Structure 1
Amino acid sequence: MKYGFYNAVLHDRSLDEAIKVAADLGLDGIEINSGGFLPPVHIPEIDEIIADPSVAKKYLARFEGTGVGIGGLNCNGNPLHPNPVIGSKHAGDVRRSIRAAAALGQTRVVTMSGLPGGEPGATHPNWIVNAWNSAALDVLDYQWEIAAAFWSDIDQLAKDNGVKVALELHPQNLVFNARDIRKLVDLTDATNIGVELDASHLFWQQADPIAVARELGPLIFHAAAKDIRINTKHARLNGVLDNGFRRLSPDEQRTNLGGDEWANEWPKDSSWDFVALGRGHDAQYWADFIQALDDIDANMWLNIEHEDVELAGLPGLEVAAAVLNEARQLAGRD
């Protein structure tokens, strides 16, 4: 296994500083954001890297002698968004990331499956959570047709570039569990589309990430070390499908997700929260997770993704890396 962190948590620092943080934490690499919901802060020359091998070589030289490498590219977004201002841009970022990965000698691009609208002419995505009625299945049929066409094309591009695309099983996407990724692969006959196993979103859906790893096996291409904590007091009243978010106003600090879409404020009485590694599941759990992944691919990257709002970026990474390093030792795969 190889261990790193997703760099978005250090977008306020330079790439060289982020590399030093990884080295100081005893990690092997950094997963570089390359577009999608977030700008490619640490790889702004991505187009030049694709076009000119000398630029790619210069970029890679920044990692030489540090003991830190590139642990994949990440362009999480919604490439199937019905608003072309968002959907076309994010789809372009997926294609660009695949080509950039090839130029940098990388074999993994992380993204999301995306979510279309519910019918022709829609302007907003439509997430069907529980398709108990026939109309909901009609929507899903329409969405899967769009997804199959897009991902068939991406699978061929990935194959041509020697890259595998790992989809995060993330709710508010068409593919968010083990059944869905198998359906996508079956519909497209994909060979280069699989999963980035982010444990956090499986936890709150009450799925078992280790069971998912064993079920999907070689369809797992990449993984994220990210934890959650269920807040039982609130979850027992509102469940985990909780929409108690607050819309942030333009004069508040907020994150643009493309077009005129913005991240909302997390509920104060949330049913669950993202927490630093170890604050939801102990080191022994993560050791078992490592073992399950290592049984699939001993060279797989497992990267910390930090979104614990109670801990700032670097302190959060330090907590997570300490737990991950302990888990590596417990797993006997260090």
Structure 2
Amino acid sequence: MKLGVMTVCLSSLSLDEACRYLKEQGVQQVEIGCGGSPGTAHCDARKMAGDPAAADEFAATVAKHGLTISAFAVHGNPLHPDQETAGTAHAEFEAAVLLAERLGVKTVITFSGCPGDCETSKYPNWAVATWPEDYEKIRRWQWEEKLIPYWKKAGAFAKAHHVRVALEIHPGFCVYNVPTMLRLREAVGDAVGANLDPSHLFWQGVDPVAAVHALRGCIYHFHAKDTYIDPYNTAVNGVLHTSGFADTAARPWLFRTVGYGHGAQTWRAIFSALQQAGYDGVISIEHEDALMSQKEGLEKAIRVLRDTMIFDAPTADVYWA
């Protein structure tokens, strides 16, 4: 496994400055936002798709610092009921795939998307309740009429360009847990896999170690981000309370830098499970800790990961056996 960082948290720095800083911290790979919610501070896939010289200059900047690109991140909602929003997300996704192909990057990360509840909807409808029965009707329509058809085509596009799609398992979108990830993969094939981020699993009550084992063979990327569950706020409000991310004192859970939600032993268990599952990709830090500055959060996460990650392939010679 390799130590990486999603550079979005360093958007105030130029790409050159960000790469120099990360190399000094011992980082090996970078995940680059190139559209959608990660923004375009360091890379704009749509612009670079029509400007090969700019794409090559971008790649050279990363390479001169001894770094490689783990993935392009273009998180959006291509199934949004607003056609303009959906169209933009789709165009950014396709541009990211073409840029990845040009630069030899094998992974593009995005969300699965979330449609509305019918053709005339204005907003997405994340229908996860069991009852009333209306929600099951919504889910069936979303999956059969929107989600599966879209990803059959988008996945085929990515595969034709030698790129795989890592869907971030994320509440608010159709793929939000292990069963939904596996269901979509079964329907559309191995063009899609998981960008596994434990922070989105912790607050749902999912054990990331169990998730890794269940997703063996289809984990294409990994985000290192932690979540702290506040026992007092949760006891009163439950985990579905909707106070804003900036209202840190009221939230039942908070995204935290690695080690500030769960201890080192939890992360050692996650990386051991990844090793058993045959994952040899990046462990990419995504910094979204509202209680720390970007650099402090990154540097603390890097220290924890250096101590808990497994960098080498397992020994082939089990001499003690």
TM-score range, shorter chain: over 0.9
In the aligned structure 1, how far is the partner of 2:68 from the partner of 2:11?
17
Correspondent of 1:288 among 238, 263, 269:
269
Q: Which runs of 5+ in 1 are unaligned?
A: 246-263
Post-superposition shift, 1:331? 9.0
Tell me the SS of whatever aligns to 1:62.
helix
In the aligned structure 2, how far is the partner of 1:34 from the partner of 1:314?
21
In the aligned structure 1, how far is the partner of 2:206 from the partner of 2:243?
22
The residue number in structure 2 matching 1:8 is 8
The residue number in structure 1 matching 2:208 is 209
After superposition, residues 243-262 of structure 1 pair within 5 angstroms as 243-245=242-244
The residue number in structure 2 matching 1:32 is 32
In the aligned structure 2, how far is the partner of 1:63 from the partner of 1:159?
25
The residue number in structure 2 matching 1:111 is 110
Moved more, 20-29 or 195-204: 20-29
The residue number in structure 1 matching 2:81 is 82
Correspondent of 2:294 among 313, 316, 323:
313
The residue number in structure 1 matching 2:186 is 186
After superposition, residues 221-240 of structure 1 pair within 5 angstroms as 221-240=220-239
Tell me the SS of whatever aligns to 2:309.
helix
C-alpha contact (below 8 Å) 2:46/2:96 kept by paired residues: no
The residue number in structure 2 matching 1:155 is 155
Post-superposition shift, 1:84? 1.9
In the aligned structure 2, how far is the partner of 1:47 from the partner of 1:243?
34
TM-score for the superposition, normalised by structure 1: 0.89
Post-superposition shift, 1:149? 1.1
Moved more, 98-107 or 265-274: 265-274
The residue number in structure 2 matching 1:102 is 101
In the aligned structure 1, how far is the partner of 2:170 from the partner of 2:211?
14
- Tell me which amino acid in the other structure corresponds to 2:134: A
Post-superposition shift, 1:131? 2.2
Q: Which runs of 5+ in 2 are unaligned?
A: 315-321
C-alpha contact (below 8 Å) 1:287/1:330 kept by paired residues: no
C-alpha contact (below 8 Å) 1:288/1:331 kept by paired residues: no
In the aligned structure 2, how far is the partner of 1:266 from the partner of 1:151?
36
In the aligned structure 2, how far is the partner of 1:332 from the partner of 1:284?
20
Pair 1:56-2:37 in alignment = no
In the aligned structure 2, how far is the partner of 1:159 from the partner of 1:331?
29
**RMSD, aligned CA:** 1.9
- Tell me which amino acid in the other structure corresponds to 2:252: S
Deviations 1:41-74 (A, max 9, x none): 1013x34543454443322211234221112100
In the aligned structure 1, how far is the partner of 2:104 from the partner of 2:241?
41
The residue number in structure 2 matching 1:133 is 132
Post-superposition shift, 1:244? 2.9
Pair 1:299-2:280 in alignment = yes
In the aligned structure 2, how far is the partner of 1:308 from the partner of 1:184?
30
Moved more, 305-314 or 179-188: 179-188
- Tell me which amino acid in the other structure corresponds to 2:275: D
In the aligned structure 2, how far is the partner of 1:124 from the partner of 1:164?
28
In the aligned structure 1, how far is the partner of 2:124 from the partner of 2:248?
22
The structure-2 alpha-carbon separation of the partners of 1:323 and 1:9, relative to structure 1 and needing over 3 Å to count, comes to same
Deviations 1:92-145 (A, max 9, x none): 111111111111100011111111001120000111122223211111111112
C-alpha contact (below 8 Å) 1:284/1:330 kept by paired residues: no
Pair 1:17-2:29 in alignment = no
In the aligned structure 2, how far is the partner of 1:280 from the partner of 1:114?
28
C-alpha contact (below 8 Å) 2:203/2:227 kept by paired residues: yes
Correspondent of 1:279 among 260, 278, 290:
260
In the aligned structure 2, how far is the partner of 1:244 from the partner of 1:314?
26
Post-superposition shift, 1:284? 2.4
C-alpha contact (below 8 Å) 1:287/1:331 kept by paired residues: no
C-alpha contact (below 8 Å) 2:46/2:92 kept by paired residues: no
In the aligned structure 2, how far is the partner of 1:32 from the partner of 1:16?
13
C-alpha contact (below 8 Å) 2:190/2:218 kept by paired residues: no
Deviations 1:150-204 (A, max 9, x none): 111111011101111011110000110111011112222x221010000000000
In the aligned structure 2, how far is the partner of 1:131 from the partner of 1:166?
28
* Percent of matched pairs sharing the same residue: 32
The structure-2 alpha-carbon separation of the partners of 1:118 and 1:239, relative to structure 1 and needing over 3 Å to count, comes to same
C-alpha contact (below 8 Å) 1:178/1:212 kept by paired residues: yes
In the aligned structure 1, how far is the partner of 2:41 from the partner of 2:112?
23
